[in-house]
């Protein structure tokens, strides 16, 4: 008899295991099947910082969390409803996140005495009563997987590698994910390696059939599709959205995209994504170091390409001098900073938002530049377009801030129509701009200098980091330096006239507190505000995308509310700027744990402020 199906509005699942157990792949495949069904979703990959921690230890646990729902969601969820733990270390590392009463599915075969000791257990949690508050399913995943593939001639070690596919099959059955999505992917991935393909398919089917036939699971679950605007959708990660946004900007500006970077976690995925787009004319170059990457990208801009470089915090330190040179040269350059926890090496696989002050002020001399921040994985596409637009139209380097959470997470994305994307005009100089003489730093009404490509007849000019006058001649004149410094700052400030005003979500128009954020706190702020309003309280929200310059109405917005709450994954950098510039009592909700905000954290913070 078919097992009963229980309908749910939303579910949070967390897969966890050793870094060699394929949990990221398992989560990614489950996400793809979920996207096909039309659920709204948000994911949170959680990588260990160690490249290869000792197997079976807590330090080596890799996890992947997904929330999927029949309604709009904005976060990967606060606490898992289901935890799939492949070994004792995974259970020990992740149990603190799981809500009481949740479902825990464990690989029973992995709970040997040796593995328990490696994970730091003094007794077996499956038998000592410590899991009585949860619904625990003990499944011998390893042994069933080995039996399922035993006819394929694999060694036991090779066979055991497919146990993640067993887990995927079981959870896919449990939540009605279509098996065809995974089976088709396995064919594309391993079709030319029949033994590996057959083993993974056998393990996946064994997990799926186990859920259907065993008496251990009495029911399965269904989450209906979420309503969505008509259009073509795909699941997209932040890194992929950044890559496609940069490519779209290059296409809409008619420029060739040149991307140079040095491998650094977590920004390397952007290099990987762009390197797959060679058929669109994208040039990618893995440089010997961060300084060289920045110099190459700036050189490409000088030559008339769209020069882009990407990195994380430590690389930003090294690129600072070249970014300052781009300020002096007034050339387009986009610098993507995928922020991670610091200082120094810090926690390289964990998320943080601590580079804002670095982006704004982390150069010597007066060198203001625009800063744009993406707010969600799919918004990375729009943020990349905007960063390129500002860089090209205003002849300036632009820093585009993402973070580890955004780059690695994914969500559904409605693919835009190409003709709806804005055109970006490089407006190259073609003739002298001052009679018979070319003045490379003579400005137009937007305070932009001409972008003159090398080799253009009559437009030869000197470049370099020394201060210059309007004619491009090196100048140590104090009055000239004052004037040029003020002009460069005024040009950046003028961008505020060309960006949309800060939007406020205040349904009743009389909320007392304003929760204001930037970057990846967007989803958690929205989810928390929704919960607060469901409790009958009023809260307004606003989110900054442009961090330099701020939108023109920013001061008006923050002064409108008696209480301003700013959640940040740092110790209060944006709050510092808001307090200094607008003289309001902006309060910080600081989090520096290497994790994104949970909606319940911000819900509690909002309620606390309102109850004071």
| φ, ψ dihedrals at 147, nearest 5° | -65, -35
Domains 234-420 and 504-611 are alike in CATH topology: yes
Is 222's pLDDT higher than 80? Answer: yes
Q: What is the CATH number of domain 504-611?
A: 3.40.50.920
Phi and psi at residue 571, to the nearest 5° = -95, 15
C-alpha span between 43 and 37 (Å, rounded): 16
564 DSSP β-pair partners: 514, 586
Region of 559 on the Ramachandran plot (φ > 0 left; ψ -120 to 50 alpha; else beta): alpha
Supply the pLDDT for residue 40. 97
Report whether pLDDT(452) > 90: yes
| Tokens 């709009």 -> residue | 72
Question: Given a cut of 90, is residue 84 above it in pLDDT?
Answer: yes
Q: What is the mean pLDDT of the segment spanning 108-130?
A: 96
pLDDT at 120 over 80: yes
**Using CA atoms, how far apart are residues 84 and 94, in angstroms rounded to an integer?**
10
* Alpha-carbon gap, residue 605 to 247, rounded angstroms: 39
- Residue 51: the pLDDT is 73
Query: What is the model's pLDDT at position 241?
Result: 98
C-alpha Rg value of the chain to the nearest Å: 27
Output the CA angle 179-181-186, nearest 5 degrees: 95
Are 85 and 17 spatial neighbours (Cβ–Cβ below 8 Å)? yes
1 pLDDT higher than 70: no
Tell me how far apart the alpha carbons of residues 332 and 388 are, in angstroms, rounded to a whole number: 8
- 81 φ, ψ to 5°? -80, -25
Q: Is 549 in contact with 600 (CB distance < 8 Å)? A: no
Contact 563, 557 (CB under 8 A): no
CATH 3.40.920.10 fits 5-222, yes or no: yes
Angular region, 434: left φ>0, alpha ψ -120 to 50, beta rest:
beta
Beta bridge partners of 264: none
Mean pLDDT of 268-273: 97
pLDDT tens digit string along 404-448? 999 999 999 999 998 899 999 999 999 999 888 999 999 999 999
Tens-place pLDDT, residues 316-330 = 999 999 999 999 999
Strands 283-286 and 504-505 turn out to be: unpaired
Q: What does the pLDDT average to over 555-577?
A: 97
pLDDT band at 491 (very low <50, low <70, confident <90, very high): very high
Confidence (pLDDT) at 153: 87
What pairs with residue 428 in β-bridges? 451
132-146: pLDDT as tens digits: 999 999 999 999 999
Fold (topology level) of 234-420: Rossmann fold (3.40.50)
**pLDDT score of 55:** 85
181 has pLDDT over 70: yes
Least confident of 46-55, 235-244, 521-530, 595-604: 46-55
pLDDT of residue 496: 98
pLDDT band at 52 (very low <50, low <70, confident <90, very high): confident
Q: Which two tokens stand for residue 131?
A: 């899991």
Res 15 pLDDT > 80: yes
What distance in Å separates the CA atoms of residue 355 and residue 317, rounded to the nearest whole number? Answer: 10
* C-alpha 31: how far from chain center: 16
Q: Cα-flanking dihedrals φ and ψ of residue 157, to 5°?
A: -65, -40
Average the pLDDT over 276-303 and give the result.
97
The count of other CB atoms within 10 Å of the CB of residue 166 is: 29
| Helices 268-275 and 238-253, packing angle to 10 deg | 50
Query: H-type helices in 98-226, by residue range?
Result: 113-118, 141-148, 156-160, 163-174, 179-190, 194-213
- Residue 20 confidence class, pLDDT cut points 50, 70, 90: confident
Q: Copy the structure tokens of residue 310.
A: 């990407």
Query: What is the spatial order of strands in the sheet that 586-590 belongs to?
Result: 504-505, 540-544, 513-518, 563-568, 586-590
Looking at the predicted structure, is the pLDDT value of residue 489 above 70? yes
Q: Which of 232, 82, 94 is nearest to 595 (CA)?
A: 94
Residue ranges covered by each domain of the chain: 5-222, 234-420, 427-498, 504-611
471 in Cβ contact with 433 (< 8 Å):
no
């Amino acid at each position: 008899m078919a097992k009963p199906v229980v309908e749910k509005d939303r579910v949070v699942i967390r897969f966890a295991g050793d870094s060699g157990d394929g949990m990221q792949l398992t989560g990614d495949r489950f996400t793809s099947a979920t996207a096909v069904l039309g659920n709204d979703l948000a994911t949170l990959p959680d990588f260990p910082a160690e490249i290869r921690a000792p197997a079976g230890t807590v330090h080596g646990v890799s996890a992947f969390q997904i929330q999927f729902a029949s309604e709009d969601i904005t976060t990967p969820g606060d606490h898992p409803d289901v935890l799939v733990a492949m070994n004792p270390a995974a259970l020990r590392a992740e149990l603190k996140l799981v809500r009481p009463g949740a479902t825990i599915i464990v690989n029973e075969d992995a709970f040997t005495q040796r593995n328990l000791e490696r994970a730091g257990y003094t007794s077996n949690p499956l038998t000592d009563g410590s899991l009585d508050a949860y619904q625990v399913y003990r499944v011998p995943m390893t042994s069933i997987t080995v039996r399922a593939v035993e006819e394929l001639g694999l060694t036991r070690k090779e066979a055991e590698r497919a146990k993640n596919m067993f887990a995927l099959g079981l959870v896919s059955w449990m939540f009605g994910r279509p098996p065809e999505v995974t089976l088709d992917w396995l064919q594309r991935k391993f079709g030319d390696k029949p033994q590996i393909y057959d083993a993974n398919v056998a393990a996946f089917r064994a997990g799926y059939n186990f859920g259907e036939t065993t008496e251990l699971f009495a029911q399965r679950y269904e989450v209906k599709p979420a309503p969505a605007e008509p259009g073509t959708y795909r699941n997209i990660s932040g890194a992929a959205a950044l890559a496609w946004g940069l490519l779209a900007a290059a296409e809409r500006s008619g420029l060739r995209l040149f991307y140079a970077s040095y491998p650094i976690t977590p920004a390397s995925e952007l290099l990987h994504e762009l390197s797959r787009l060679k058929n669109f004319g994208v040039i990618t170059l893995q440089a010997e170091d961060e300084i060289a990457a920045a110099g190459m990208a700036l050189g490409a801009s000088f030559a008339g390409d769209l020069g882009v470089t990407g990195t994380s915090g430590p690389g930003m330190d090294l690129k600072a001098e070249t970014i300052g040179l781009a300020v002096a040269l007034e050339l387009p350059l986009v610098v993507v900073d995928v922020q991670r926890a610091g200082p120094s090496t810090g926690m390289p696989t964990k998320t943080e938002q601590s580079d804002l002050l670095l982006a704004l002020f982390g150069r010597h001399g007066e060198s203001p530049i625009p800063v744009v921040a993406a707010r969600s994985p799919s918004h990375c596409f729009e943020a990349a377009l905007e960063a390129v637009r500002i860089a090209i139209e205003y002849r300036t380097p632009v820093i585009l801030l993402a973070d580890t959470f955004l780059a690695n997470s994914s969500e559904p994305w409605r693919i835009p129509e190409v003709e709806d994307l804005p055109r970006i005009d490089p407006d190259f100089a073609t003739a002298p701009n001052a009679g018979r003489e070319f003045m490379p730093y003579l400005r137009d009404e937007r305070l932009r200098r001409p972008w003159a490509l090398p080799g253009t007849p009559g437009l030869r000019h000197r470049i370099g980091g020394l201060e210059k006058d309007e004619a491009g001649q090196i100048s140590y004149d104090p009055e000239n330096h004052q004037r040029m410094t003020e002009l460069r700052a005024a040009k950046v400030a003028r961008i505020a006239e060309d960006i949309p005003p800060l939007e406020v979500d205040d349904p009743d128009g009389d909320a007392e507190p304003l929760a204001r954020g930037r970057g990846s706190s967007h989803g958690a702020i929205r989810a928390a505000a929704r919960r607060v309003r469901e409790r009958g309280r009023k809260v307004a929200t606003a989110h900054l995308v442009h961090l330099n310059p701020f939108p023109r109405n920013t001061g008006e917005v923050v002064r409108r509310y008696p209480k301003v709450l700013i959640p940040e994954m740092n110790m209060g950098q944006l709050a510092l700027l808001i307090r200094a510039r607008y003289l309001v009592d902006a309060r910080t909700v600081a989090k520096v744990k290497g994790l994104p905000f949970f909606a319940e954290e911000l819900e509690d913070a909002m309620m606390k402020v309102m109850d004071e």
